[in-house]
Structures are given as structure tokens and as C-alpha cells.
A and B are shown apart, each in its own frame.
Chain A
Amino acid sequence: MKYLDEYRDAGLARQLAGEIHRLTTRPWTLMEVCGGQTHAIVKFGIDELLPAALTLLHGPGCPVCVTPLEIIDQALDIAARPGVIFTSFGDMLRVPGSTTDLLSVKAGGGDVRMIYSPLDAVKLAEQNPAREIVFFGVGFETTAPATAMAVYQAAQKGLKNFSLLVSHVLVPPAMEALLSSPDCRVQAFLAAGHVCAIMGFEEYFPVAQKYRVPIVVTGFEPLDILQGVLMTVQQLETGRAEVENQYSRAVRREGNQPAQALLRKVFQVVPRKWRGIGEIPRSGLGLAPEYAAFDAELKFGVAGRRVEESPDCRSGLVLQGRIKPHECAAFGGQCTPEHPLGATMVSSEGACAAYYRYRRIQPSVSHERT
């Protein structure tokens, strides 16, 4: 397929991998931030092409995985109420809260609908004036502008039956939280390309400087990721810690400024709890005071819950890159995609699910290696 196959070329992949092998003289630990990158790495087997001295840690960039349990419980509560049409992106539907999931709420009679764009929820609100339409706004800076646009349009149209359960999170504060942890092993980041397409990458310069880490804005196709790794290794091997942009076909330094302006208008930066990690200051987006009427948490009176995570689930350590999925004792036995102990096993972008789907049993790869 045009604009896709070019970035999945086996010959070029081998060339890039060869270059990485040639340059790597000692062990390095990199973290890819985005769940989409984790998925591509495992799906295409990119890490099999890399030198053993390179360790790829999988970062906290799966929005489904880091959504805290209490917000999922709020969603379940609202979705089960009569008169509500609860709308969400597909992969939130199977994420378990403390007792059940949205698919089960649907089976029990709740009107839960999967949509592809938050604007579809606004349309539903117009078409169903007697119902309350709630959109579950989950995701990083990538999806936040679309959510903001939905709220903005609902306000313009004067809709009173549309509201937002918001759990948007921001990437740079999470990277800083990881870097400031005393047992942080990460020596360089592949930054999430799509997040940077919206936000640009200026905010990474102080991070790279303060923590002396190379940060390479990286895309999602196999050749993007291999090139991102190559650029990172070049920096590490030459003692540089700079911000570079591998994904220049999609990302500009200043990002998408109209989208950023919309975010500033509709949202404000708030502290946010991350599932498995804990509360990170200034790491989330909440509705700005002038849009409080669209806040489902207030509208349905579900604020202020506290729920404890499972003591057996170590997804927090996975999300922080401190263990690999298969290093968890529950992996593949007690915890599978059918019976997930934590969100990293549920979401298709979760590191545990990616490992389970693609390499539950380590294949004997010797004769397959290129």
C-alpha cells in the first residue's frame, strides 16, 4: 500500500539494523513512550533485529492502560443509568473497573456505543434531545483536540444534554516523573510521533538538557522506529543529549497551533492519577471553568471516589519500564487477555497484551533471523 509499504521494506530494515549493530559498542537502555510503537515493535519483531546490547523498555504511552480505576468505575456508573447514551472509543470497552466492564454494562441493558470520533457524540446529542449523551474522553495530546472540538461545538450549539468524562493525560510530565525516579534505567527516549504532531517538540528541550537524555521524535512504522533507534544510538555513542526529529514528514517543531489553541481554550492542566504509577502533578487535562457545565463528573455526581488496585497486578512496574511483561509471575497464566489482571493486558496497545499476542512462547528464531 502506498505510503505504507515503503516504511515496511525488509531490505531497508536490514540496512538500518546493520548500521545500528555497527555503531553500538556498549549496552544502552531506550524507552519508546507510545503504546503504538510498542505494538509495532512486537508485531513486526523489530527488537529481534537489534543488537543484544540494546534494551527497549516499553513506556507509559497506552492511554487505556493508564486510565485510573476510579475513572473507569465512574464510567461504569454513568453508563448503567437509564436515559444515558454512553459513548467511547472501542478499546475502553473491555477494560475492567473494580467490578465489571462497559461490555457487561451493555449486556445488562446500558446503552453503550462505540464511536470513532467525539464529534459523533455531539451528533447523537442533537439527534436525541431527551437523552443524556456522555463521551469518555481518553487519550494523550493526540486525541485531546478532537475531544476539545466536541465540547466547543456542543457549547456553540447550546446543547445541554452532552457531557464529557475526561481523562486526558500529557506525555512530558510522565517522562519527567520516570526520569526523576531514583531507579530509572532509561538512558534515551523515542518520543511519541503523533503526540508531537499536535504539540510540537519544544517542551522536550529542557527535559533533554536537565536529565541528559537524548530524545528522538519517532514515527510508528518499522523503518521509522529503526531509524529512531539509530539516531538515538548515534547520540548515546557520541555523548550527546539532544532533541531530534525522525518523524519530520508529520511533525513540525511548533506542532499544530490551532489544535493547541483549542486545547488551551477548553481545557486546563490538572494533576492526574495514572493507573499503576500514581498521581503526577500537571499531567492531565480537565475542563476549564467556563466549560464546567459539560463535566460529566459534576453532572452525574460521581466525583471523589477512591479505589485500590489489585495487589497482584504489576502493570505499574511494566508501565514504568521497570519490568518486562513476561517478568511478571502472573503473565500468561493468571493474567491473559481473556482474564486480565490489569489494563496493560487488555488494551491492544498495552505492553502485556502485545507480548502475549505475539510472543507468548518464544519461537526458536535462529533460522529466521535475517
Chain B
Amino acid sequence: MNELNFNAACPIPITQYPHVLLAHGGGGKMMHQLIGSMFLTAFKNPLLDTQHDAAVAELPGTKIAFTTDSYVVRPLFFPGGDIGSMAVHGTVNDLAMAGARPLYLSSAFIIEEGLPMETLWRVVCSMRDAARHCNVQIVTGDTKVVDKGKGDGVFINTAGVGVIEHRQAIAPQNVRAGDAILVNGDVGRHGMAIMAVREGLEFESQIESDSAPVHETVLELLRAGIEIHCLRDLTRGGLTSALNEIAGAVDLTVNVEEKAIPVREDVHAACEILGLDPLQVACEGRFAAFVAEKDAERALALLRDRSPQAARIGRVTGERPANVFIKSAIGARRILDMSTGEQLPRIC
């Protein structure tokens, strides 16, 4: 740990937390610090170091993508989805971010004692249906049961393997100055759907999660010959974390326009009420695509065929030091910074 940041004379700062906080899983800077200082350091290897959504490995005669993700969500069933479908979509999407065609998933269940069988069956059926819909097979698995109170109903881990059938190199490191940045739909819906249910917030209309598989969209872009430099799904930390991760990985500057970023009106309203930034709210069926400028309009048209809200939100420039800038609604430019831990609603 960096001793220089610690000022022993000052009684206030908490420079290094001695315990894991929920904020360490929030998708912000604290999570990145945890991953950087522990996991990346301990497990260091070239595939991991790319920090892609899925690792891409060359095997004799073929190229595969490999990824894993754990799903902990309360409530287990929410408007627009549930933990089962999310556990399939999330891992399928991680593979898609490497440009892979998803093939096989594993599924590991950590079940809390006392969970009604009926509930578990609903989750399993939802996974089965999602897997069918995504054309992937769940080919291996594991089951553990923990004491009552040691889990939250059910936690699911899925790992996924996909095959890469094209010659493009899609990774954060391949982003170039001049690239156009696109998103495949409106952002922030999943997080607000969960929060509305979890906190018992009642809005006029129900916000539904955007949980959905995106691999078909990506494969279509590839088939159309779009020069894709990088894809990143907008999960925890939302668009803001995704853009900061890419800018940091490639040491280039990302510029986006607030007005160009699609946010649905009900999501925007809910965020305003709670003092949250929709650009930091998680999605489960959205990604940012960094594509060559020459193909940007064609890529946008393809994305819009699937979701009319898809939009071109900005471009990459060579400015250094690397940063993410946003042009505000009234035309001024500011930094779009990653949040520290989880977003905390403001007092007033």
C-alpha cells in the first residue's frame, strides 16, 4: 500500500479501510482499487492484464473468450427480469464484449437454507428460458447450501465460454483517437428498477430493467464489417465507470455530450428525486461501442434497428492526460468522474 498518502498527523482521513465495505463492490474507484491492489497484483498474467470483460485466449486452431460473473440481487424478482435471467444475460454479454459467440455456461448456486423450493424452481426455469433464448447451453454446475442468515436467498455464479470467429482485435487497448462512441440504448434503467422496488419508491409508472442479451447485436455489427475497436458493457458504475475504465486503459481522452446520451424520462425523474446521476446507474443490457469513425453512421443505423434509443454520444481524442469530459446541457465542459463507492442519495 502506498504509505505516502497517509498523513499520521491528521486524525480525520480513512486512507485504507481495514475491512471490506459494501462500497468495495459498487463499481467505483474503491472497487477498482481493491481489484488493482489485490487481484491483479496477485494473479498477474497477460490475459488478466488486459482487464477486458472476457479473457481472449488462442488455442490451437481457434480463439476463445472466457469469463465469469456472480449475481447477488435483492429482490430476486424485479420488474423486467430476475436473478436467473440476469445470470445468463450478464455472462453472455461479457462474452459478447470480446466479440465472441457464446456457447457454454456453468452455473453455481449458493442457496440460503429455508429458501422455498418454489422460488428456486422459478429461478431455474428463468435461467433455462434465457439460455434457450441466447442459444447457449448450461453444461456444468455446482450447488452449495449455507446456514439461514448467511446468504440472501440465492447467489448465482455463471462462467461462460464463447468462440471468436472474426479477425478483429476488440479490446480496451485498441481504442484510437478519433473513434466514435455509441451506446445501444437508453441508460440507467436496470439500477433504477431495482432501487424503486428495493426502497419501496412508488413512481407513476413502473420502471422495468433493461436486462437483455446483446450478443446478437454485436455479431450483427461484426457481420456487417464494422471496424470495432472496443466494447464495454455498462453494468455497475454505469456509463461513467465504463468510459473511465477505457480512457484509463488506453491513455486517451473521451469526450461525450450530455444531451446526446439517451436517458428515459421516468429514469431521469427518479434520479432527480433521489439525487443520483443516471450516468452512474447500472444497466444490464447496454454497452458502449468504440468504432472507427468511417463506420460510425453505419453502426448507429444497425443499433437503431434494434433499439431506436441507440445513440452516438461522443468521440475519443488524443488529449493527455487521459480523462473523460462531458459537455453539459448548457454547453460548458467538465470532468465526468467515477464515483468513489456506491452512489449515496443526497440529503437535499
Which residues on A are within 8 Å of B, measured CB to CB? 1-2, 4-5, 8-10, 13-14, 36, 42-46, 48-49, 63-64, 69, 89-94, 96, 98-101, 103-104, 106-108, 114, 116, 138-140, 142-143, 194, 222, 308-313, 334-335, 337-342, 347-349, 356-361, 363, 365, 368, 370
Contacts and interface: CB of A to CB of B under 8 A. Distances in A.
A360 B337 contact: yes
A267 B267 CA distance: 37
Contact of A100 (B14, B327, B335, B337): B14
Q: Chain A interface mostly helix, strand, loop or mixed?
A: loop
B30 A338 contact: yes
Contacts of A312: 7, 9-10
Contacts, number: 165
A341 B10 contact: yes
Contact of B328 (A44, A108, A349): A44
B330 A49 contact: yes
B348 A338 contact: no
B331 interface: yes
A334 B328 contact: no
B346 A44 contact: no
Given A63-B347, A340-B12, A358-B337, A116 B330 contact: no
A150 B22 CA distance: 28
Contacts of A334: 5, 7
Nearest to A309: B12
A327 B106 CA distance: 54
Contacts of B5: 334, 339
A143 B347 contact: yes
Given A100-B14, A104-B19, A309-B12, 4 more contacts: A313-B10, A338-B33, A361-B335, A368-B332
Contacts of B85: none
Nearest to B274: A116
Contacts of B13: 96, 310, 335, 339-341
A8 B17 contact: no
A361 B334 contact: no
A104 B321 contact: no
A8 B337 contact: no
Contacts of B327: 368
A263 to B, nearest CB: 16
Contacts of B15: 339
Given A91-B345, A114-B345, A348-B344, A104 B17 contact: yes
A133 B23 CA distance: 24
Contact of A365 (B265, B333, B347): B333
B104 interface: no
11 contacts: A4-B268, A44-B330, A45-B328, A45-B333, A46-B330, A96-B14, A106-B22, A107-B19, A310-B12, A341-B13, A361-B335
Given A1-B265, A363-B325, A342 B12 contact: yes
Task: Enumerate the 10 nearest inter-chain pairs by beta-carbon distance, A residue then B residue, closest first.
Answer: A45-B332, A90-B344, A90-B345, A358-B334, A8-B329, A13-B330, A310-B10, A310-B12, A368-B333, A357-B337
